[in-house]
Amino acid sequence: MSARPAIFTLTGNLLAERTLEFGPWQIGSTQRALHESFHTRGKGVNVTKMLQRLGTASTALLFAGGPSGEECEAWLRQHELPYRCFAINAGTRTGTVIWSEQVPETTFLGPDVIPDDEAVRACANFLNAQPDDQVLALCGSFPGWDELVYAPLRSAIDRWIDRGRLFADVYGPPLKSLVERPLELIKINQQEFAAFFPATERAVSTEQRLRAMSQRSPVKQWVISNGPRSVWVLPRRGDPIEIAPPPVKEVSPTGSGDVLFAAILHALLIRGTSLVEAVDFGLPLASANAAHPSVADFVLPANL
């Protein structure tokens, strides 16, 4: 039996997130929170957390700096999530979630933070030093991706494609460039997928657009999510398939896509399933996450 590959998740835009829980509240007056909590967020961190819960080892790669970055690292150590930090001079991005059972969840995010040249080079050197046949999952946004600062990391990722396996759940500039490379899988939502097509083609069904994308792009497999609605899957050398998630009473959708991505990675890489089976495995977990107020903290089914 071959050894399991190392799995790395890379977060380009870490978040020091504080959640304030309220009863009923309204804009325009002083509000006093009932509870306060802190979490280190970012899609790659969420994916690593869910992989760990599924029993799959993963290391979160991230850029962090300043007091907010120190708080993020302390949280990761406290929760025993393996990580590798590439230090930046600027403080890690901060955010505040306002949560209430009576009012829709609202999130306020601080400005994006572009990592320093030295941090990007350190990350690129780390990736270049890894042995062949490992797994890298690119997660979320990467502010500054098209700028010179990211050149070493873009080159390292191109080399990774030739000697390892690359998966992505990204948006913005990274997505535009990665779609032109033979990734193992891209998972994005309907809005991000629609951006690949001119307005005249967006009325065409997702199935037809996936067929067209399979001809235009070397990406091997696709997963197109759409919130609580059906997910479209394009497996390797197969036809597009629509899969409906189990219905739940949504409490917070935050992180459900990350839970789905982690479950797909676990099923493909550890269980050895097909992509359709991997999505079937992951959708109940994503739905369970949406029915819970936090990310990847829901009770796992006993039959996993």
16, 20, 21, 23 alpha-carbon torsion, rounded to 10°: -150
CA distance 78 to 81: 8
**For the whole model, what pTM was predicted?**
0.95
CA distance 31 to 24: 9
What is the DSSP-derived secondary structure letter of residue 179? T
121-159 pLDDT, tens digit per residue, is: 999 999 999 999 999 999 999 999 999 999 999 999 999
Domains of the chain listed by start with CATH number: 7-23+34-290 (3.40.1190.20)
Q: What is the pLDDT along the chain (304 residues), one digit of tens a residue?
A: 456 889 999 999 999 999 999 999 888 889 899 999 999 999 999 999 999 999 999 999 999 999 999 999 999 999 999 999 999 999 999 999 998 988 888 999 999 999 999 999 999 999 999 999 999 999 999 999 999 999 999 999 999 999 999 999 999 999 999 999 999 999 999 999 999 999 888 788 999 999 999 999 999 999 999 999 999 999 998 999 999 999 999 988 999 999 999 999 999 999 999 999 999 999 999 999 999 988 999 999 888 7
CA distance 233 to 225: 9
pLDDT at 302: 82
- 87-114: b (≥16 Cβ within 10 Å) or e: ebebbbbbbebbbbeeeeeeeeeeeebb
CA distance 104 to 20: 13
pLDDT at 1: 42
pLDDT at 147: 96
Residues 55/152, Cβ–Cβ less than 8 Å:
no
The SS3 of residue 60 is strand
